[in-house]
Structure 1
């Protein structure tokens, strides 16, 4: 019994240490650099069976690279360090870089972490070739959740409504926009003033629905360590991401 009691005590101590570690990580500033690239062969060359009617949806709690918290940006831009990776992707001729940004962010545990809106590549109407969001959070480890989709608009690069439902197209969700409050209206939770933006539709001018011919999804959950370059991909597109610790003096 004594040995079992000792083992239980060790297990409880380990769990308490893990909980304290998670609490220590929460509220810490990290530097994130992310590259999203497509494979030049296109979706038709990937031999992948993409879902015909994928459920595409933006999250309710989100920030973008223009969101503010107080007098500063929620995602503070910093100089990139992975330009050599971008150059290598470009040189290969097999990939096309759609998104490359580096920013600092105070990471929280998952229930307090907003999604970051991502877009890049060519545009058709109000939509980009790359759309979706990623969420970064901390517990015992760093965690990344991706909900990204790559749009294939076919040969139509001029119209906002491409390959509608009558031809089997995939309807694309509208990217959220900041809710504009009246001057005397207090900022609501989830608004831009609180650091999280709430999605809203401008009823004065709602554009016609937009469709893509095909959509490739990249939905992954990945546990990460700081300072390591992580690679996530599927046959259509992929992500390179590195999360780095920030020294207190730098903060």
Structure 2
């Protein structure tokens, strides 16, 4: 996996190992996916919601890659940046330079070695042999595409202006859709990075059998106005981490200097006791869940490509469309991606 520092190279290059994968494999069908998730701001308040829904992230999932976000993080980081096959970005310090070793003293050649070695005959070249056919290319999957690639933006903006709906997630990307056992859920929030609970959390999974299938495991954090009293549910889990920052290893301290410093310190037991009139500091309890309740949307929908599908819920709505991509389209997208990388690197 290549590393980069300059933000001029888009994050597509970070996942370039996927770019040259044996492309439009016969077993894989590629699609351009557009997914819109919104809330009903005037959702039914008389619904009876499960007080303690089972909320969980998948054991293994992946993230969308946002090129500008990845480039900005790489530019602000003093080190290298890498995006893995799950869409996680790793920021690492530059490796320590290796100590230079003295160049070895060349041996004095023997008299017999003064004459050049006999030339080996090159193997005959078969003029009729053809070079192996180039593998078709595919674009890097799971990279958020520009807004111009989306079909629903005008409708989503109109819905939001009405005041009855609020867009919580709206992205477009390309991906191969695999059978259920090989499909990875897509995690749609970054709560694992922020340490905070956004309004929308969870994951969606696309897989294919005879038909395309969408499975949602989403939950909406709410103010709980529909709940009696002041009861609050326990905080749901935060998502997995998508940004991993590796710190440089601390320099080794001199043993004797550390030992002398410890001897100079006061009695640790005496230091641990609060002075008269003081109280011991409370342990950090971590972030506080700012919502009262979460409502789960766990649904499954069988779909056809080229059609808009809508999953309904009293508090949430999901709109999705998958457009199939043929080999020619994938090749063109991959070539455009390579051209963009080359232009950015100049």
Normalising TM by the smaller chain, what interval? 0.5 to 0.7
Identify which of 176, 183, 186 aligns with 1:106.
176
Any unmatched runs of 5+ in structure 2? 1-24, 66-82, 88-138, 247-283, 331-346
Cα distance per residue 1:99-122 (max 9 Å; x no partner): 1000101111011011001139xx
2:299 is the counterpart of 1:220: yes
CA separation in 2, counterparts of 1:70 and 1:235?
A: 32
- 1:181–1:111 distance in 2 versus 1, CA, 3 Å: farther
Comparing both chains, which one has the higher relative contact order based on Cα–Cα distances under 8 Å and sequence gaps of 6 or more? 2
Q: Which residue of 1 aligns with 2:101?
A: none
CA separation in 1, counterparts of 2:169 and 2:245?
A: 31
Q: What TM-score results when the alignment is normalised by the length of structure 1?
A: 0.67
Instruction: State the 1:208 CA deviation.
Output: 4.1
Which runs of structure 2 are paired with 1:1-251 in the superposition (5 Å)? 26-42=27-43, 45-66=44-65, 68-69=84-85, 74-78=141-145, 79-119=149-189, 126-153=196-223, 167-178=231-242, 207-208=286-287, 210=289, 212-251=291-330
Aligned residues: 192
Q: Which has the larger radius of gyration?
A: 2
Cα distance per residue 1:219-239 (max 9 Å; x no partner): 111000001000112111110
Specify which structure has the higher proportion of strand.
1
CA separation in 1, counterparts of 2:35 and 2:160?
A: 16
**Conserved? CA contact 2:308–2:319, under 8 Å:** yes
**Conserved? CA contact 2:36–2:170, under 8 Å:** yes
- 1:146–1:107 distance in 2 versus 1, CA, 3 Å: same
Cα distance per residue 1:186-236 (max 9 Å; x no partner): xxxxxxxxxxxxxxxxxxx99446363121111111000001000112111
| RMSD, matched Cα | 3.1
- 1:125–1:179 distance in 2 versus 1, CA, 3 Å: closer
Cα distance per residue 1:39-61 (max 9 Å; x no partner): 1125xx43111110011000011
SS of alignment partner, residue 244 of structure 1: strand
SS of alignment partner, residue 171 of structure 1: coil
Q: What TM-score results when the alignment is normalised by the length of structure 2?
A: 0.50
**Conserved? CA contact 2:31–2:324, under 8 Å:** yes
Instruction: State the 1:167 CA deviation.
Output: 3.2
SS of alignment partner, residue 55 of structure 1: coil
CA separation in 1, counterparts of 2:186 and 2:86?
A: 18
